[in-house]
Structures are given as structure tokens and as C-alpha cells.
Amino acid sequence: MSKAKNEQDSEHIKEVLKLLGARIRFLREAKGERNYEKFAFKHDLNRTQLWRYENGEDLHFSSLLKVLSALDVTLSEFFGEGFDQPAK
């Protein structure tokens, strides 16, 4: 694989992680949870990690599942309509 292809793939991954984080934040706020720290405490999530996820940092699939469980959202709902659109 060429260096240019690797860089292109890395940029795409960063973009998707930002969308993922924006989606987590949007769903949390849509549930009336304005404060990520209180949400994290309430659902036994690491508040620093949750902040990182919401800001587009990489995460393990199992961590995503734990966050989605706290949001009471399925994978298909999470990745469904609106996932690939930036939050407004």
C-alpha cells in the first residue's frame, strides 16, 4: 500500500471517528443529558474516556457498546439515519 493511500485512509478514519463522537454527543443531549460528566457518573462510564470519544478519539468496540447501552440505543439505531451527517 502506498504512503498516499495510508494517509488517505488515516484521514478517512479520523473523519468517521469525529462523526461517531458527534453522534454520541447528539444522542446524549437528545436524551436530556447536557452534562457529559454527570451522564458518565450516572452510567458508570469513565468521564475522561467519554469526553475523548465525543471528541473523535479512537475507542474499542466494546467501549462503544457500553456507551450505547447507557444511551439505550442499538447498533442499528446508532449507525442508522443521521449517522453520516454532522450534528446540528
Q: Greater confidence, 1 or 36?
A: 36
pLDDT of residue 5: 75
What domains are defined for the chain? 3-79 (1.10.260.40)
Does 61 have pLDDT greater than 80?
yes
Q: Locate 26 and state its grid cell.
A: 447528539
Q: Give 3-11's long-range contacts (Cβ < 8 A, gap of 24+).
A: none
Q: How far apart are CA 17 and CA 2, in angstroms?
A: 23
Contact partners, residue 45, CB within 8 Å, separation at least 6: 39, 66, 67, 70
User: What local confidence, expressed as pLDDT, does residue 4 receive?
Assistant: 78
pLDDT digits (tens, 9 = 90+) for 13-38: 999 999 999 999 999 999 999 999 99
Residues contacting 63, CB < 8 A, separation 6+: 49, 53
